[in-house]
Amino acid sequence: MKKLLAVGLVLALSGCGGGYDSLPPQVSDGNGGTIGAGGTFPTDKGDWKYRSVSNEDGVFSLSASIYATNTYTVPKYPNLKQRSWIELEKRKMANDTISKRFTIFAPEEVKCTPNCDIRIKFNGNTATYSFLQSTEGVLTPVSEQSSSELFDKTVQSNKATVYLPIVGLSKEFGSEFNLRGYDAAKMKFISE
């Protein structure tokens, strides 16, 4: 009799749904947390990638890159979406000084022949910087001072928007970046 009562109770609860089958599925955020419908990432870190280059004298180049969180439609191929990215590099020079480089990669042709002004917003403050396009879609600041300044602003900010003048789009595209979670320790030379 107890078994029949238990089975009946289970059937009754499953018929009502028990409340759990109507909840949105939980999805891993990739950082050990979970999100559901309308949820946010608990850690909310950007997806930074790091690498280093060395020779017989040791590590001489450290770099970090991060992709935009949004995509744009490629003008020539409406079914294709592209995403820009930023790369930061610290390079140890022969005289032991360290240079800082900031580069924007736009996978499509940009209206910069050979240079243009690009607006960048860091944490709500927008400024305009002059860039050169030496290779299609690869944009570098016109001066080392500007490159170093942009490097520092990137690592000190939580978010950024880079307004790219993509050829074929009617207006600039705002590539948005989540810069949280930058690991300064991975971008530090032993001698620093």
Output the six-digit token pair for 76. Answer: 């020539």
3-state secondary structure 97-129: CEEEEEEEECCCCECCCCEEEEEEEECCEEEEE
Q: Which residue has the higher pLDDT, 8 or 97?
A: 97
Alpha-carbon gap, residue 187 to 189, rounded angstroms:
7
The tens digit of pLDDT for each residue in 158-192 reads: 999 999 999 999 999 999 999 999 999 999 987 77
Q: How many helices (H) and strands (E) does the chain have?
A: 2, 13
Tokens of 27: 């999805």
Token representation of residue 121: 């917003």
Alpha-carbon distance of 15 to 159, in angstroms, equals: 48
Q: How much is the average pLDDT of 84-91?
A: 96
| Sign of the torsion formed by the C-alpha atoms of 179, 185, 187 and 188 | positive
- For the segment 4-28, the average pLDDT, to the nearest whole number, is 42
pTM, entire model: 0.74
Residue with tokens 């022949």: 113
Residue whose entry in the numeric block shows the structure tokens 């107890």:
2
The C-alpha angle 143, 146, 147, rounded to 5 degrees, equals 85
pLDDT top residue among 103 and 95? 103
What residue ranges define each of the domains in the chain, with the CATH number in brackets? 49-187 (2.60.40)
Distance, CA of 6 to CA of 11 (rounded, Å): 9
pLDDT for 41 beyond 80: no
